[in-house]
A and B are shown apart, each in its own frame.
Chain A
Amino acid sequence: MKIENCKLKIVVCWLYPELMSTYGDRGNIICLTKRCQWRGIDVTVQDKLAGADLIFGGGAQDRQQEIVMRDLSGKKDQLQKMFDDGVPGLFVCGAPQLLGRPYLGIFDMETSFPGGPRLIGNLVGEISSHYNLEPRTFVGFENHGGRTYLGPGVKPFARVIKGFGNNGEDGTEGAVYKNCLATYSHGPFLPKNPAVADWLIKTALEVKYRKEVELKPLDDALEHQAHDFIVKKYGH
């Protein structure tokens, strides 16, 4: 028996909303919140990890990132346990650096800073078929100095069609550990990728209620128009 959307509750954790909010990151929180509310799902946003059903981490300026790292390394075990329990997460911008080595080391991946040019521009990729999303593509914008190389303990989130992705060499973009996604796309990733937003919401609810959840369909004509525009303009 499936639960009606209007009887569901979801708690979203936005990690360090003041420190990790460099460039439109809150677009992801607005997107998750609205897409829940439009379906009658009760949604709360908090900055604590405890009790969260979905975790979001944005991008930080260098100085802010240091403050975040100092605090977050004390929460590493809590974060790892939540990921291992299947709690979904989205980490954008510098997240691949933050979650892997030499920082938190939860994700099996290594980031180096060779000091070459920053990798900047529109980013289009094909999301791993594991997620069975429609459309299969994602669109974003990247701006990073680090180069990340994945180990066998994580899977790439997508394959780069246009842009640089993890390192500009092997065609991988982002990383997935359990239900947690990390991407070099920065800022408002979810609004133009509503299928990813809905996957996060659905997964969060299914892990929480231990039941299959069917999200009410929404009118995503404008979302798809904005998505397709970027794929057509930059995705080849």
Chain B
Amino acid sequence: MIKLLAKLVSFVSKTLGLGAGVTWAGEIALKFDPNILSKLIPTGSRVILIAGTNGKTTTSKMITQILGNAVSNDTGANILNGIVGTLITKPAAKNIVLETDEATLPAVVAQITPDTVVLLNLFRDQLDRYGEVDTIAKKWLSALEKLSCRFVINADDPQLAWLGSKLKKVSFFGLDDKKYFLPKMQHATDSIFCPACGTRLKYAGVYFSHLGQYRCPKCSFKQPKLDLAARDVKSPLPGVYNLYNMLAAAAVTGTNEITAFSPAFGRMEKIGNARLLLSKNPAGFNESLRTVLDAKERGPVLLVLNDRIPDGRDVSWIWDVDFENLTNYRECITCSGDRVYDLALRLKYAGISNMRIVPNLGDAVKNQSWILATYSAMLEVRKILTGKKIN
């Protein structure tokens, strides 16, 4: 009965063009039955949960494509209402692949028993909403140690490796390849202190942010042995972060290669001449800048910063992004978004002079080769470029 009502709401919402029919349906269903999630998983189905700050959507898409016969919250509706809404409105399938918001993971595993939980990474992101990285890791551990499922965990992230050492049935993945080392440590690092004893970790090299090859010089904590490394897989998308996503997908599915993969919304997606890179926290933004700087085709760059709820109200994090790397970028750099002046000020102090400030996004998106934007900004950019909404 509740499912039927929720489906109706979703249909009406979509028909009237209100968008996001999925989350509305979930919201209504949860109002009537806060424990509905446990009842939406058919017996015999396989539930895979994907959590982490960056890479959830791409990894889910990779797993879904490899497994087939899957239902997934592929529109990024990853908090409780979106997950419930997805399971109500989409046709049932054998595999249920759900990307799960950092703060939502404990609530989800309290209601359903997953087959596999994937932990990708933990970076600083929206402290106003999630709290500190350490706090999330603690909450994850107390929720996950009760489960008897399989875990797929990124061993290059010290905090997650430590978490994994407390769990059973863990497959660890990591790059294990010096060719991806950065020449120097980036500024936006979170977990560079030993999760066991608090001593500063010794890094042989860093892949990005605090992901790398490390050990504690004081206690016995060290990087766990890898079950899967970069040499074992072939990623369908450029970028070190996509290599991690592919490793996670391969560890879950046992398939080490994907051909013909189209990127998820705003993840190297191409619309017209513009490449779209969702960039919503320091680690992700630094990787986006690296992708632009490493690309053969350079061209004008648009940066868009919003401060709405899905972006995080606090924009302080832009000072942790290494915009200084753009100093020698010859093409024009345009700033736009709700917090355009904050962004422009950051660029000014990074020593970037070839900069334009264009508050009107409609004008700003014209003739760009690269568009780096926060979540709500990316939705707007896509809407302008394609003339339609995504839900």
What residues of chain A have their CB less than 8 Å away from a CB belonging to chain B? Answer: 18-19, 21-27, 30-31, 34, 61-64, 66-67, 120-122, 141, 143, 186-188, 191-192, 222-223, 225-226, 229
Given known contacts A31-B349, A34-B349, A122-B313, A24 and B318 CB-to-CB distance under 8 angstroms: yes
Q: For residue B315, which residues in chain A have a CB less than 8 angstroms away from its CB? A: 141
Interface core residue of B133, B315, B345 (most chain A CB under 10 Å): B345
Given A62-B135, A63-B193, A27 and B341 contact (CB-CB distance below 8 Å): no
- Find chain A residues with CB under 8 A from B317 CB: 23-24, 187
Chain B residues lying within 8 Å of A30, measured Cβ to Cβ, are 319, 349-350
A125 CA to B192 CA, complexed, in Å: 35
Chain B interface residue count, CB cutoff 8 Å, equals: 29
Residues of A within 8 A of B124 (CB): 22-23
* Contact call A24/B316, Cβ cutoff below 8 A: yes
Q: Give the A-binding residues of B (Cβ under 8 A).
A: 124, 127-128, 132-135, 187, 189, 192-193, 198, 200, 313-320, 341-342, 344-346, 348-350
Q: Are B198 and A23 in contact (CB under 8 A)?
A: no
CA–CA, A141 and B315, complex, Å: 9
Smallest CB–CB gap between A207 and chain B, Å?
Answer: 25
Distance from B104 Cβ to chain A, minimum over Cβ atoms (Å)? 19
Docked-complex contact B316 and A222, CB < 8 angstroms: no
Q: How far is the CA of A226 from the CA of B338 in the complex (A)?
A: 11
Shortest C-beta distance, B349 to chain A (Å), equals: 5
Complex: A109 Cα to B182 Cα, angstroms: 45
The answer to whether B314 and A222 have CB atoms under 8 Å apart is no
Contact of A222 with B198 in the complex, beta carbons under 8 Å: no
Interface of B, helix, strand, loop or mixed by DSSP: helix
Instruction: Name, among B133, B134, B315, B341, the residue most crowded by chain A CB atoms within 10 Å (CB to CB).
Output: B341
In addition to A24-B316, A27-B346, A31-B349, 5 A-B residue pairs with Cβ atoms within 8 Å of each other are: A23-B317, A187-B317, A191-B349, A223-B345, A226-B344
Verify B345–A191 contact, CB threshold 8 A. Answer: yes
The answer to whether A192 touches B313 (Cβ under 8 A) is: no
Q: Whole-angstrom distance from the CB of A230 to the nearest CB of chain B?
A: 8
Given A22-B127, A31-B349, A226-B344; A67-B319 close (CB under 8 Å) = no
Residues on B with C-beta less than 8 A from A21 are 187
Instruction: List A contacts of B348 (CB < 8 A).
Output: 222
B189, chain A: closest CB distance, angstroms:
8
Least CB distance, A185 to chain B, in whole angstroms: 9
Contact A63 B319 (CB under 8 A): no
Q: Is B314 touching A23 in the complex (CB atoms < 8 A)?
A: yes
**Whole-angstrom distance between the Cβ of B45 and the nearest chain A Cβ:** 38
